[in-house]
Amino acid sequence: MALTVLALVRTRKLFAAVILSGVYSFLMATVMLTLDAVDVAMTEAAVGAGISTVLLLGALYLCKSEEAKPAHRPWLPLAVSVSTAAILIYGAMGLPDFADPKSPIHQNVVPRYMENEVDVPNVVTAVLASFRGYDTLGETTVVFTAGAGIIALLRRRKSKRDDNEK
């Protein structure tokens, strides 16, 4: 995955960048599978590598522009990125170890969810739909708003469309 991302940074053809981002999403879905996150891996593969690539290709076709030539030498963004990375790694050293059963993430609420008072074996669906149903309502509204926003942005006047379809 690191190689894919490095190639993504360096490439200048936009079509190659879109395909590389699809490859990156698939690799991320595989990594998620090894981390036992089956629902998330399925969603990431379908959404990231499927819908996202289709939308990027559609936008690329509409924009019709191919390459991006950087005008300035990227020293300042590189310095900012490297310093942010150093700060983040310094902070991450204080986080709990990988796969530590005593870390706080496993302690507070999760044992109650896993007791399965809802009698649905897939705990992720149960939490999404029942224990945290409000969040899912908010997310559905966000998706609906995005659809409405795209309709508002990309709509054409109806009379022209009827003329052109005949």
Partner 1 sequence: MLSQFSHLSYVITVFLMIAGLFIVIARGNLIKKLIGLSVFQTSVYLLYLAPGKLLGGTAPILSAQFTVYSNPLPHVLILTAIVVGVATLALGLALAVRIREAYGSIEEDEILAKDNAFENLQEKHA
Partner 2 sequence: MKNDLVLRVVGKLLIPFILLFALYVQFHGDFGPGGGFQAGVIFASGIIFYALIFGLANARKLMPDWLVESLLASGVLIYAGVGIAGLLLGGNYLDYFVLDSDPVHGQHRGIFWVEAGVAITVCGVMLKIFYMFASRANFDARTDD
Among 42, 85, 87, 114, binds partner 2 (CB under 8 A): 42
Of the pair 67, 119, the CB lying nearest partner 2 is at: 119
3 binds, among partner 1, partner 2, none (CB under 5 to 8 A by kind): none
On the CB side of 120, how many CA atoms lie within 13 Å of its CA? 12
Q: Does 137 bind partner 1 (CB under 8 A)?
A: no
Give ∠ CA 74-19-59 in degrees, rounded to 5: 85
The 74-113 site mask, x for binding partner 2 (CB under 8 A), equals ----------------------------------------
127 binds, among partner 1, partner 2, none (CB under 5 to 8 A by kind): partner 1
Distance CA 97, CA 65 (A): 46
Three-state DSSP class for residue 118: coil
Nearest alpha carbon to residue 15 among 58, 46, 51: 58
Evaluated on CA atoms 143, 148, 150, 151, the torsion sign reads positive
- 29: which residues sit within 8 A by CB, 6+ positions away? 41, 42, 44, 45, 48, 49
Q: Does 132 bind partner 1 (CB under 8 A)?
A: yes
Among 88, 115, 154, 166, binds partner 2 (CB under 8 A): 154
Contact positions vs partner 2 (CB under 8 A): 38-39, 42-43, 46-47, 50-51, 54-55, 58-59, 61-62, 118-122, 124-126, 128-130, 133-134, 136-137, 140-141, 143-144, 146-148, 150-151, 154-156, 160-161, 164
